[in-house]
Amino acid sequence: MNFINSLEHAWRQNNSLVCIGLDPDLERLPANLHKADKPIFEFNKGIIDATADLVCAYKPQAAYYAAANAEDQLLETIEYIHKTYPLIPVILDAKRGDIGSTAAMYAREAFSRYQADAVTVNPYLGYDSVEPFLRYAAKGVCILCRTSNPGARDIQDLEINGKKLFQHVAAMVTANWNQNGNALLVVGATYPAELAQVRAIAPNMPFLVPGIGAQGGDVEAAVMNGKTESGTGMIINSSRGIIYASSGEDFAAASRREAEKLRNEINRYR
């Protein structure tokens, strides 16, 4: 099953637009895991097993594994999801972006080494930096458009012929880059007006939407402005708000409660 199909299946099957970001900061893991042989993997496994019927995707953030010298536990986490919950796709959040020959290596990292179902990429280097990912037609490629952080304004909001840069990116991806039908856009929940502007440009494209939870994005505004006509079209990510819901041994049960709460809140506005 290709990424878009498995995403649509998971939306339906779990009646959920929630994606959980697996961003395991070693300093924030529950004390009972500190002595584990593979603390990051055990932490992820706890959360995954507690939430797999509540989500449409998981999104490990590569930076946390890279900082911790834990590429092996990233791989194990992805393998575990694929083996145990084969219908839930995995998005590797890596935000890669480089010239074509190098981008091909990053695509190999994401899709061959880690077997991710989708990856996030940065559009600053243009089409030939994204094409080596898009070429994997069964995989999803989530292209940064309007990000969720305060600094998003610095570059992405610069105006070109009366439109902002992120609108140009959305238009370019929709009109020219998406020849395999496997492109998605990353649009932050923290800027609901911008989310509506991007939805107007790309009425049917799935969006990866970070910024809910610790970053403070409003669920109602995000869903109302980001959903497609069918009430889907969004992968709404929360990382810290779910995975650190409790810092104790009950972290997995606590993450389930938060994930369920978020799913239900989102579904109220679909």
Name the residues that contact its own copies, by CB under 8 A: 23, 25, 61, 63-64, 66-67, 69, 71, 95-100, 102-103, 105-106, 108-109, 112-113, 122-130, 144, 147-156, 158-161, 165, 168-169, 172, 210, 215
Q: Is 164 considered catalytic here?
A: no
Q: CB of residue 41 vs its own copies: minimum separation in angstroms?
A: 17
| Residue closer to its own copies, measured from CB, 98 or 250 | 98
User: How far is 183 from 33, CA to CA, in rounded Å?
Assistant: 37
Q: CB of residue 65 vs its own copies: minimum separation in angstroms?
A: 9
Helix intervals (H) in 35-135: 39-51, 62-67, 71-84, 100-107, 127-134
Cα 138 to Cα 49, 173, 194: the distances in Å are 26, 17, 29
| Residue closer to its own copies, measured from CB, 132 or 206 | 132
Q: Which residues contact 248 (CB under 8 A, 6 or more apart)?
A: 30, 31, 32, 254
**Coil vs helix vs strand at 105:** helix
Please choose, from the candidates 84, 64, 82, 83, the residue with its C-alpha nearest in 3D space to the C-alpha of residue 74: 64
Backbone angles phi, psi at 145, to 5 degrees: -125, -75
Q: CA angle 128-134-135, nearest 5°? A: 90
User: How far is 43 from 203, CA to CA, in rounded Å?
Assistant: 37
| Residue closer to its own copies, measured from CB, 8 or 76 | 76
| Residue closer to its own copies, measured from CB, 4 or 29 | 29
61 forms beta bridges with 93
Q: CB of residue 113 vs its own copies: minimum separation in angstroms?
A: 6
| Residue closer to its own copies, measured from CB, 63 or 87 | 63
Q: CB of residue 249 vs its own copies: minimum separation in angstroms?
A: 25
Q: CB of residue 193 vs its own copies: minimum separation in angstroms?
A: 18
Task: Identify the active-site residue in 38, 45, 59, 95.
Answer: 95
Residues acting as catalytic residues: 95
